[in-house]
Every structure is written in structure tokens, then in C-alpha cells.
Amino acid sequence: MVQPSSFDVTTGVDLQEVDNAVNQAQKEIAQRYDFKGSKSSIEFNRGESILVLLADDDYKMRALLDVLQTKLIRRNVPVKNLDIGEPKAIGGDMVRRDIKLKMALDGDTAKQVAAAIKDAKLKKVQAAIQGDQVRITSPSKDDLQGAMALLKAKDFGVELKFGNYR
């Protein structure tokens, strides 16, 4: 009997790279002319995987978000994995925006990935949801490569990572 090959589909971001990007963005904000005398800041709560942006007004909030996204892109952090919240007015004419980092596939996205594999009707390729990841199995490694290409071509709202290929 042939041992079936498999790989796992997950998502996530490198928290160290996010931390580095936040530090770079804070340095740039400290030096920019349009932020002189501003109380704008970026805070990274590593334990909860949340970025908190504080700015004086909507204009500075947009500039702050733009600087942060630029630094994240340069450090190869997938911007698709950011769940950007709406700006909220807080006391003292300040604006706050929370950005959650998607560290795992949620149930709906996992179901979409599994459904995409089943809808493609690849021979003997099966998808099974296992917690926050989807395991794709097949006796043929070529079919698994086709499944990988199929998933890369589709947009699921997050950056997919393929690992544990055996």
C-alpha cells in the first residue's frame, strides 16, 4: 500500500518581523515634519497580536497606517493578514484604530479552502479541517502540487502558508 502524501495549509505572521516594522515606523514618525508635536503612536501588544494606532486626527491616522503598512511590506509581512478596525474617536481629540493580526485560519476560511479542493475534483485529493489548519492528502505528489497551485491562485482573504509537506 502506498503511503499517502500530505501538506498542511495554515496562515500567520512572523511576530518578530511585525515588531521590527513597528520600531521602524516609530522612528520614521519621530522624524517626519507632519508629526512634529503630535501625540501619534503605534503600540504592539505581542501577547494578543494587536497593533494600536493613536493619532491626533483622521489625516494623521491615514498617514500613520500608510507608514506602518509600508514598513510591514518591506519586511515581508503579509498585509492580507491584518484585520484593520475602524477609527474611533477617544478623549482629547484623539483617534484610535485597532489592527488585529490573523495568526490562524478561522473556521469559515478553513471551510472555503476545503470546499475549493473538493470543487476542483482533483483525483484522490482530500481536504480535512484539523483545528486551525487544513490537511490535504493524496497518494500522488503531483496531485498535491496541483492542489497547491489551485489554492495559490484563489483569494481567501489571508496569506496561505504551505507546510509539513511529506
- 36-51 per-position pLDDT tens digit: 888 888 999 988 889 9
- 112-136 per-position pLDDT tens digit: 888 888 888 877 888 888 888 888 8
For the residues 14-18, what does the mean pLDDT come to? 90
* Grid cell digits, residue 73: 511590506
For the residues 106-111, what does the mean pLDDT come to? 86
Kindly list the structural domains of the chain, giving each domain's residue range(s) and its CATH number in brackets, ordered by start: 5-12+105-163 (3.30.70.860), 15-101 (3.30.70.990)
Does the pLDDT at position 160 exceed 90?
no
The pTM of this model reads: 0.82
* Grid cell digits, residue 45: 501588544
Rg of the chain (C-alpha set): 20
Please, are residues 134 and 8 in contact by the beta-carbon 8 Å criterion? yes
pLDDT at position 118:
85
Q: How confident is the model at residue 2 (pLDDT cuts 50, 70, 90)?
A: low
For the residues 103-112, what does the mean pLDDT come to? 86
Does the pLDDT at position 1 exceed 60?
no
Highest mean pLDDT, choosing among 1-5, 36-40, 73-77, 136-140:
73-77
pLDDT at position 73:
93
Q: How confident is the model at residue 68 (pLDDT cuts 50, 70, 90)?
A: very high
Please, are residues 150 and 116 in contact by the beta-carbon 8 Å criterion? yes
Using the structure block, give the residue that is written with the C-alpha cell 488585529: 100
pLDDT at position 37:
84
